[in-house]
Amino acid sequence: MKKITKLLLGGALVILLLALPSQVKADWHQDNIGWWYSTNNGSYYKDTLAYIDNNIYRFDERGYMITGWYLEEHRNTNGSLYKEWSYFDPVSGARLEGWQQIDGKWYYFNSGWMAQGKQNIDGKDYYFDLVNGDMKTGWISTPGLNGTDWSYYDPVSGARLKGWQQIDGKWYYFIDYSTYNYALKGFNKIDGKEYYFDPVNADMKTGWISTPGLNGTDWSYYDPVSGARLKGWQQIDGKWYYFIDYSTYNYALKGFNKIDGKEYYFDPVNADMKTGWISQQVDVKKWYYYDPKSGERLLGWQDIDGKKYYLTSEGAYCGYTYTIDGKEYYFDPVTCELITGWFEYNGTKRYADPNDGGALALNKTLIINGVSYSFSDNGALITNKP
């Protein structure tokens, strides 16, 4: 009986020993070199990535777990070689995913691979160094259609900024249109309003901005507060200007202009509205008078500085006799003011009656200072009697 028992026990031991390899527990092991991982079939991982307990690890050609940065080589479908960086936690050895701060810098790992260049993450754009992969903030330049395009990435969050942004005390506008994402430059319309941005630095400019025009330099004015280009009548530094907004023409008017049916005059260089007497030399010099309050050109009879003038669309009557409302008047050839009293014209003495609004005495006899004077039908003095 004992012999049979010994045989049975011996057979059981053989069976147990034969079964041991298939029952080895997969587990981590450590020696003075590092960590490795044995599988349940008695082998271990080496020179490969391994998925263990919901984490990914990298083992070198000896089978030891790798930590820190690791450059992985891949081949495209066409056989060309490319490389990608991964980072394995220095403590646990697990490959890092998503946002990670390493040595004070931020990185993003997409499926374990370090992101580089411009990346959209959770609906926001970020930029990572093309070589080192660390997240970059502040101004980032990229080649554009018309030179260098600039984008700005928030120094705190790292996300690319969009729309209106104030940076270091200056305003910028960043468009976000399809693949175009950059700070605007030059003249641009935003939400129906015109703005101007520096053609190099892209910061919004305000105040006077000049552009080449059809007849010289055109000037536009951008509000110092809102930055929007001003239109229509505007008072700037105590002076009045008028800015047209017609198709591609947007500038301050100069010279003689009609606005809402009224005539105005603007300085031919500075474009500010002028009032008072303004002359225009065509064939002869013509004088116009612009109201000091409204700025509009005055017409008809006007009392100016205590003197009378008659103003027309062709200028002030000046140097001749003119018929106005059936009566004749004479205006000084130099000052254009209405002459009253005695004067000489074409070698004959004539009289502009102050009691008749300055009208010439025509074909009539008047008592002037107690003396009787007779005048012809053209106003020339005929006789005088005491």
Burial environment of residue 83 by CB neighbours within 10 A (0 to 12, 13 to 18, 19 or more): exposed
Average pLDDT of the residues in 335-352? 94
pLDDT of residue 23: 57
Q: Is 83 within a domain?
A: yes
Q: Is 69 within a domain?
A: yes
* % of the chain with per-residue pLDDT over 70: 92
Contact 204, 171 (CB under 8 A): yes
pLDDT of residue 36: 97
pLDDT of residue 385: 64
In the predicted structure, residue 9 carries a pLDDT above the cut 60:
no
Per the prediction, the chain carries an average pLDDT of 90
User: What letter represents residue 174's amino acid?
Assistant: F
Q: Is 101 within a domain?
A: no
In the predicted structure, residue 7 carries a pLDDT above the cut 50:
no
With cut-offs at 50, 70 and 90, classify the pLDDT of residue 346: confident
- pLDDT tens profile 122-135: 999 999 999 999 99
Q: Is 232 within a domain?
A: no
The residues near 67 (Cβ < 8 Å, ≥ 6 apart) are: 88, 89, 90, 91, 93
How far, CA to CA in Å, does 110 sit from each of 86, 241, 331? 10, 58, 91
Tokens of residue 350, six digits: 């004539």
With cut-offs at 50, 70 and 90, classify the pLDDT of residue 25: confident
In the predicted structure, residue 68 carries a pLDDT above the cut 50:
yes
In the predicted structure, residue 51 carries a pLDDT above the cut 50:
yes
Q: What is the CA radius of gyration of the chain?
A: 47
Give Cα 16 distance to the centre of its chain.
83
How far, CA to CA in Å, does 128 sit from each of 85, 109, 112, 118, 121? 13, 11, 15, 6, 12
Rounded Cα distance between 237 and 96, Å, is 62
Structural domain span for residue 78: 22-96
Q: Tell me, what CATH number does 33's domain have?
A: 2.10.270.10
pLDDT of residue 126: 96
Rounded Cα distance between 96 and 109, Å, is 7
Q: Is 330 within a domain?
A: no
Rounded Cα distance between 37 and 315, Å, is 104
pLDDT of residue 270: 92
- Global pTM value: 0.77
In the predicted structure, residue 368 carries a pLDDT above the cut 50:
yes
Rounded Cα distance between 311 and 338, Å, is 11
**Angle ∠(234,238,244) on CA atoms, nearest 5:** 20
Q: Is 309 within a domain?
A: no
In the predicted structure, residue 15 carries a pLDDT above the cut 60:
no
pLDDT of residue 76: 86
Q: Which residues pair with 27 in a beta bridge?
A: 38
Q: Is 318 within a domain?
A: no
pLDDT of residue 11: 40
Q: How many residues does the chain have?
A: 386
- pLDDT tens profile 140-151: 998 877 778 999
Q: Is 82 within a domain?
A: yes
The residues near 25 (Cβ < 8 Å, ≥ 6 apart) are: 40
Contact 276, 292 (CB under 8 A): yes
Of 85 and 347, the one with more pLDDT:
85
The sheet carrying 371-375 orders its strands as 364-368, 371-375, 381-385
φ/ψ bin of 163: left (φ > 0), alpha (ψ from -120 to 50), beta (otherwise): left
Q: What is the largest CA-CA distance in the chain?
A: 186
In the predicted structure, residue 3 carries a pLDDT above the cut 50:
no
Contact 188, 218 (CB under 8 A): no
With cut-offs at 50, 70 and 90, classify the pLDDT of residue 281: confident
Rounded Cα distance between 239 and 272, Å, is 6
Phi, psi of 9 (to 5 degrees): -65, -40
Rounded Cα distance between 220 and 84, Å, is 53
Contact 95, 56 (CB under 8 A): yes
Rounded Cα distance between 146 and 262, Å, is 44
Q: What is the number of structural domains in the chain?
A: 1
pLDDT of residue 5: 35
**Angle ∠(377,383,384) on CA atoms, nearest 5:** 125
Average pLDDT of the residues in 352-358? 96
